[in-house]
């Protein structure tokens, strides 16, 4: 199990964290993004998209469930499952998760059944003002180098 907790002090740091992670991703990576409303999930997603070479602005896909970005080093599927809490979950999202891109999932608890067990899990907590705690963990050893880099760049 890879597991690390650190702090960010500005939105830019959270976005920079996303950008830093991007080069370590590969096809079929699933990243879950958990945290309260306004924690910084989409801010992270914006940095990650930038790192994948996406220049469009990343907005929360809440009203569309999913936004896809193909003009990138790897296709990015950005899912916001918030509105699936009590709704129809049979949308075929597995096809994206099992496809050849990176899938980012905000509010993963609402579609838990389709999240692979070796996903990269990120939990962001608001510690007040601009301070955020970021907890990243995964059972997938393919991310070992990425964790070494994060430990180097981001500290508690
Ligand atoms: N350290 C920080 N990291 C990330 N965002 C921060 C930080 N400090 C302040 N913020 C602010 O918190 C807000 C985070 O919004 P964002 O849309 O990224 O959250 P979210 O988790 O995606 O929310 P939602 O669940 O509503 O989609 C932004 O307004 C951002 O400027
Ligand atoms: Mg969001």
Separation CA 137–CA 83 (nearest Å): 25
Distance from the alpha carbon of residue 136 to the mean position of ligand 2, in angstroms: 17
How confident is the prediction along the chain (156 residues), in pLDDT tens digits per residue? 999 999 999 999 999 999 999 999 999 999 999 999 999 999 999 999 999 999 988 887 767 889 999 999 999 999 999 888 777 667 888 888 989 999 999 999 999 999 999 999 999 999 999 999 999 999 999 999 999 999 999 998
Q: Is the CB of 18 under 6 A from ligand 1?
A: no
**How far from 141 is each of 108, 117, 118, 136, CA to CA, in Å?**
21, 12, 9, 13
pTM for the model stands at: 0.95
Nearest CA to ligand 1 atom 10: 11
Q: Is the CB of 8 under 6 A from ligand 1?
A: yes
Distance from the alpha carbon of residue 34 to the mean position of ligand 2, in angstroms: 10
Ligand whose nearest atom lies closest to the CA of 125 = 1
Mutational pocket test of ligand 1: of 43, 62, 83, the residue with most ligand atoms within 8 Å of the beta carbon: 43
Q: Is the CB of 60 under 6 A from ligand 1?
A: yes
Distance from the alpha carbon of residue 42 to the mean position of ligand 1, in angstroms: 7
Q: Is the CB of 28 under 6 A from ligand 1?
A: no
> Residue 107: its pLDDT value, please?
93
> Residue 48: its pLDDT value, please?
98
**How far from 25 is each of 10, 69, 87, 92, CA to CA, in Å?**
24, 15, 31, 23
**How far from 103 is each of 21, 76, 126, CA to CA, in Å?**
13, 6, 24
Domains of the chain: 10-120 (3.40.50.300)
> Residue 88: its pLDDT value, please?
67
> Residue 85: its pLDDT value, please?
79
Mutational pocket test of ligand 1: of 6, 7, 11, the residue with most ligand atoms within 8 Å of the beta carbon: 11
Q: What is the pLDDT of residues 34-55, one digit of tens each?
A: 999 999 999 999 999 999 999 9
> Residue 100: its pLDDT value, please?
93
């Amino acid at each position: 199990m890879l597991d690390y907790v650190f702090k960010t002090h500005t939105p830019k740091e959270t976005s920079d964290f996303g950008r830093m992670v991007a080069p370590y991703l590969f096809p079929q990576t699933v990243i879950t993004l958990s945290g309260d409303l306004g924690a910084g999930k989409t801010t992270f997603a914006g940095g990650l998209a930038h790192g994948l070479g996406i220049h469009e602005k990343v907005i929360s896909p809440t009203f569309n469930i999913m936004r896809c970005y193909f003009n990138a080093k790897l296709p990015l599927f950005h899912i916001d499952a918030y509105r699936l809490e009590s709704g129809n979950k049979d949308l075929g999202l597995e096809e994206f998760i099992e496809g050849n891109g990176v899938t980012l999932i905000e509010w993963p608890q609402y579609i838990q059944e389709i999240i692979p067990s070796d996903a990269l899990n990120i939990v962001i907590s608001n510690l007040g003002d601009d301070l955020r705690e970021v907890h990243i963990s995964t059972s997938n050893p393919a991310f070992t180098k990425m964790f070494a880099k994060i430990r180097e760049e981001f500290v508690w």
